[in-house]
Amino acid sequence: MNEEQRLASQQVKQPQQEKDYSKYFEKVFTAPSLKDAKKRGKEEVKYHKDFDIEEKFLHMGEGRKFYIRTYGCQMNEHDTEVMAGIFMQLGYTSTEQIEEADVVLLNTCAIREGAENKVFGELGFLLKYKRQNPEMLIGVCGCMSQEESVVNRILKQYQHVDMVFGTHNIHRLPHILNEAYMSKEMVVEVWSKEGDVIENLPKKRLGSIKAWVNIMYGCDKFCTYCIVPYTRGKERSRRPEEIIQEVRELAAQGYKEIMLLGQNVNAYGKDFEDITYRLGDLMDAIRTIDIPRVRFTTSHPRDFDDHLIEILAKGGNLVEHIHLPVQSGSNEILKIMARKYTREHFLQLVEKIKTAIPNVALTTDIIVGYPNETEEQFQETLDLYREVGFEMAFTYIYSPREGTPAAKMTDNVPDEVKKERLHRLNHVVAEYSAKALKELEGQIVEVLVEGSSKRRDDVLAGYTRKNRLVNFKADPKYIGHRVLVKVTEAKSHSLLGEFVGKVKEEVELIK
């Protein structure tokens, strides 16, 4: 018996007592299909509000610990909070130490090959822990689970994985765990559907200062390079009253900042059939809630409407920072990316935003080395970057994703050229970021204090409304509050400052 077979045989879990498990056990093997995930039908979105843990599962986690590692975007981070909430309702406790966990979940991201490779690397690494503790359950969830190529690879090469479940199956976690405890086989449950909205899932929030709030799920944009519409289903909005209620509760619990989440938040409300209610309306309602800072991500330039700009211009708790991914500055590339806007349209939108919100900070996402991108087309991206004067950007080399239209395109751009373009772009990004930071020297900024430096208790760190990191010396009692800080020095990625005083709205709250 080789090592792998020996390990596999150790993994066979026998029910602990003689009991008829058949009533619990429905053999689970639902594999993903990117082809099905691509369909967009006419059925209405179903809203569920009846999530409940069945009684038979209530003690499943007693004496057991869970560990979740999260990859990818904030939506995944927030899904992790939901799964942590479910684990806790099942009686599990959380641990930061993989080796003492009874269940390990990898909540994965499929956006680029590099993201996937990290997960496969980690899965290989987990074999060591499984050897030490054959009872440990290992699960893969998140966007990678929605890809059949990934599930096939896990079935073949990573047999120490006990369960694979998809982004539409999170609420099924109690059942999936139960199956995994009972079954000798890998449990695979991935629904490739357009998706519903499930409202009352529990959440164990990871922070106490900032919170994420989903406003919509899925994406219908189908940019030709992107896997998200396949992994997350169709665009479906949460009802405004549910979102507003959640934000109110967070405000009452003392949260200071909320981030509204969606893959394309500007499409919010497009799917409502009974009401006309869009992102501008939602922001206008949230504006009146007593929570100091409200952000949203991610915006798509195409659906960014004038009403939203008008509302954002009212300021208050709506911060003057907009993340607006442009992807490319070349009309030809934008066209083959199916972004459905032009460079001119993007610049016009930026102009409108800057006129309405003169001190706005704009940040973006850019992909370089798209199939057949020419040097001229890349130059147009650099020019656009300078013309807008973005304060920061996430920059990527194009990564082909199986199942997407772009993956079928022939590509004549050598890897070295792509790397070199990324390098040149990053140089411009760093230059503009440094310039934006330098301009703050001598100014007083509002900082939401998130914690103290690892090495020194009296060095506090927090973020400005435009999401710039500031370090300064002050009493740790300010953690969790907004304070005023005078910027003394701009570093390459952050600011140094001197404590000036409390923000007046919070004077009463700081003891």
| Backbone region of residue 327 per phi and psi (left: phi > 0; alpha: psi in -120 to 50; beta: other values) | left
Q: Which does 229 bind (CB under 5 to 8 A by kind): ligand SAH, ligand SF4, ligand F3S, none?
A: ligand SF4
Q: What are phi and psi of 438, to 5 degrees?
A: -60, -40
Find the distance separating the first CA and the last CA of the chain, reported in whole Å: 65
Nearer of residues 73 and 409 to ligand F3S, judged by Cβ:
73
Q: With binding defined as CB under 6 A, does residue 260 bind ligand SAH?
A: no
- How big is the site for ligand SAH, counted in residues (CB under 6 A)? 17
Q: With binding defined as CB under 6 A, does residue 429 bind ligand SAH?
A: no
Q: Which amino acid is at 254?
A: G
Q: Which does 126 bind (CB under 5 to 8 A by kind): ligand F3S, ligand SAH, ligand SF4, none?
A: none
Nearer of residues 80 and 471 to ligand F3S, judged by Cβ:
80
Q: 3-state SS of the chain: helix, strand, coil percent to 5?
A: 40, 20, 40
Helix, strand, or coil (residue 211): strand
- Preceding peptide of 381 cis, ω within 30°: no
The residue within the footprint of ligand F3S, chosen from 10, 30, 76, 426 (CB under 6 A), is 76
Contact positions vs ligand SF4 (CB under 6 A): 219, 221-223, 226, 228-229, 263-264, 300
Nearest Cα to 390, choosing from 424, 431, 421? 431
Helix, strand, or coil (residue 258): strand
Nearer of residues 74 and 159 to ligand SAH, judged by Cβ:
74
Nearest Cα to 260, choosing from 306, 333, 210? 210
Please state the closest distance from residue 166 (CB atom) to ligand SF4, in A.
Answer: 17
Helix, strand, or coil (residue 63): coil
Q: Which residue has the tokens 């992790």?
A: 80
List the x/- string, 135-164, binding to ligand F3S by CB under 6 A.
-------xx---------------------
The residue within the footprint of ligand SAH, chosen from 80, 169, 178, 298 (CB under 6 A), is 298
Nearer of residues 11 and 395 to ligand SAH, judged by Cβ:
395
Nearer of residues 78 and 293 to ligand F3S, judged by Cβ:
78
Nearer of residues 330 and 452 to ligand SF4, judged by Cβ:
330
- How big is the site for ligand F3S, counted in residues (CB under 6 A)? 13
Nearer of residues 33 and 299 to ligand SAH, judged by Cβ:
299
Q: With binding defined as CB under 6 A, does residue 225 bind ligand SAH?
A: yes
Helix, strand, or coil (residue 140): strand
Strands (E), 298-422: 321-323, 361-368, 392-397
Nearer of residues 126 and 144 to ligand SF4, judged by Cβ:
144
Q: How many CB atoms lie within 10 A of CB 43?
A: 10
Q: With binding defined as CB under 6 A, does residue 110 bind ligand F3S?
A: yes
Helix, strand, or coil (residue 385): helix
Strands (E), 298-389: 321-323, 361-368
Q: With binding defined as CB under 6 A, does residue 231 bind ligand F3S?
A: yes
Q: Token pair for residue 77? A: 């981070």
Alpha carbons 506 and 245: distance in angstroms, whole number = 23
Helix, strand, or coil (residue 500): strand
Please state the closest distance from residue 122 (CB atom) to ligand SF4, in A.
Answer: 24
Q: Which does 401 bind (CB under 5 to 8 A by kind): ligand SF4, ligand F3S, ligand SAH, none?
A: ligand SAH
Question: 15 CB contacts (<8 Å, ≥6 apart)?
Answer: 21, 182
Stretch that binds ligand F3S, among 177-185, 223-231, 475-483, 494-502 (CB under 6 A): 223-231
Three-state SS string over 282-321 comes to HHHHHCCCCCCEEEEECCCHHHCCHHHHHHHCCCCCECCE
The residue within the footprint of ligand F3S, chosen from 8, 31, 73, 198 (CB under 6 A), is 73
Q: What are phi and psi of 357, to 5 degrees?
A: -130, 80
Q: Which does 143 bind (CB under 5 to 8 A by kind): ligand SF4, ligand F3S, ligand SAH, none?
A: ligand F3S
Please state the closest distance from residue 421 (CB atom) to ligand SAH, in A.
Answer: 13
Reported as type and span, the H/E element at residue 40 is none
Stretch that binds ligand SAH, among 179-187, 237-245, 287-295, 395-403 (CB under 6 A): 395-403
Q: With binding defined as CB under 6 A, does residue 109 bind ligand F3S?
A: yes
Interface residues with ligand F3S (CB under 6 A)? 72-73, 75-76, 109-111, 142-143, 227-228, 231-232
Interface residues with ligand SAH (CB under 6 A)? 111-112, 225-226, 228, 263-264, 298, 300, 325, 327, 365, 367, 396, 398-399, 401
